[in-house]
Amino acid sequence: MALDQDTFDLLKDTVRRFVRERLVPAEDAVEEHDDVPPDILQDMKDLGLCGVSIPEEYGGLGLSMAQECEVAYELGQTALAFRSAVGTNIGIGSQGILMDGTPAQKAEYLPRIASGELIMSFALTEPDAGSDAASLKTRAVADGSDYLLSGSKRYITNAPRAGGFTLMARTGGAGASGISAFIVPATLPGITIGKPDRKMGQRGTKTCDVFLDQVRVPAANLIGGEPGKGFKTAMKVLDRGRLHISAIACGMARRILDVSIAYAQNRKQFGSRIGDFQLVQAMLADSQAELLAGWALVRETARAYDAKPPGASDPDVSMQASCTKLFTTEMVGRVADRGVQVHGGAGYMNEYKVERFYRDVRLLRLYEGTSQIQQLVIGKHLMRAP
């Protein structure tokens, strides 16, 4: 699946202009009100951003992973809350249905997710199951032609905005093979949305707990129609998500570098622009080199991702996706740290964008698998090699 090159070039150009002309000027409002203005969210939906990863037959734009990463790179160059508002529809909320859903599930949900009419969240994490996702406790007990779901989910991105959840629950015994994935409409009786989380950064992104108390979900909403497949679905979704986050990390590194260069060109000390001092140039140069390396890695891994059969998992590609997330999210952390350093004392002041971005990028090393989980995935893969 891929959009033809000419149409894609047009789309990318439109997104780039939209980011510069519409989103960047709204960054301060997002920070101040801790929300994405509804008219901007609507514009993002109208641009088709909720459906970039969904095939055209279901109303999406049908981008390849490589093309999606190019779009994510553009979206990464502004407050990360904008990307987050549509990010679960693009990735972790929709892809389980696309990869493993039945034809009826795809036909029912994907068009509404692609248009943004339905905001879909991904509910895997729980209070006692974060990195150790296979230990999740939310139970789904068969009851006639339904399942009854009870448990709690934590830090669920977009839950306050969501019309539905791709939700992992335990239908069988302990471990990964006892987990199933469900499509759970947010309006079902027994679902309670918790208070919005107060976070270090990324103001305007919405996360909270989701509680389920004997929520009656039709068996028809079991993704793929077969229990016990949910953990693998979640892992495949995360492989893809990790690449998307990597592209976002590179986009944000680009933005931080741009604001740091602009500052170094304007700020004068000792009678010169600070950017004329070699010690400042060294910081900018390190960030530029690391950004180029990270972005090349994203493009190469996205190419490998697109080369495998759609929806299939390939341990080599999973390992590469983990390498890419590990490198790029750690890289943007270093770029942000240097960005603050280039700004000197001003970099610690919240009227400078770099202070905000420094806090915002910290999350990238945590969600969709911490850096340490990426190291584990890579290490395990290497130790399996013959």
Query: Please, what sign has the CA dihedral across residues 240, 49, 1, 93?
Result: positive
Query: Please, what sign has the CA dihedral across residues 109, 180, 208, 322?
Result: negative
SS3 of 23-78: the string is: HHHHHHHHHHHCCCCHHHHHHHHHCCHHHCCCCHHHCCCCCCHHHHHHHHHHHCCC
- Shortest Cβ 279–ligand COS spacing (Å): 38
The torsion angles phi and psi of 344, rounded to 5 degrees, stand at 60, -145
Pairing of β 120-123 and β 164-170: parallel
- Shortest Cβ 73–ligand COS spacing (Å): 20
Catalytic residue positions, numbered: 368
d(CA 321, CA 65): 12
Q: How many H helices and E strands in the chain?
A: 12, 9
- Shortest Cβ 154–ligand COS spacing (Å): 10
Q: CB-wise, 102 or 177, nearer to ligand COS? A: 177
On the CB side of 345, how many CA atoms lie within 13 Å of its CA? 0
Kindly list the residues in this chain that would bind ligand COS in the complex (CB under 6 A). Answer: 122, 124-125, 131, 133-134, 176-177, 231-232, 235-236, 238-239, 313, 318, 367-369, 373, 376-377
Chain centroid, CA 302 distance in Å: 15
Q: CB-wise, 159 or 332, nearer to ligand COS? A: 159
Q: CB-wise, 78 or 318, nearer to ligand COS? A: 318
Q: CB-wise, 191 or 238, nearer to ligand COS? A: 238
Single-letter residue type at 386: P
Beta bridge partners, 165, equal 121, 184
Question: 150 is written with which tokens?
Answer: 């009870």
Pairing of β 146-157 and β 207-218: antiparallel
Q: CB-wise, 175 or 344, nearer to ligand COS? A: 175
- Shortest Cβ 319–ligand COS spacing (Å): 9
d(CA 214, CA 123): 16
Question: 336 is written with which tokens?
Answer: 């942000």
- Shortest Cβ 253–ligand COS spacing (Å): 21
Q: What is the DSSP letter of 369?
A: S
- Shortest Cβ 133–ligand COS spacing (Å): 4
- Shortest Cβ 255–ligand COS spacing (Å): 22
Q: CB-wise, 177 or 341, nearer to ligand COS? A: 177
Torsion-angle region of residue 312: left (phi > 0), alpha (psi -120 to 50) or beta? beta
Pairing of β 164-170 and β 179-185: antiparallel
Chain centroid, CA 356 distance in Å: 19
Q: CB-wise, 70 or 126, nearer to ligand COS? A: 126
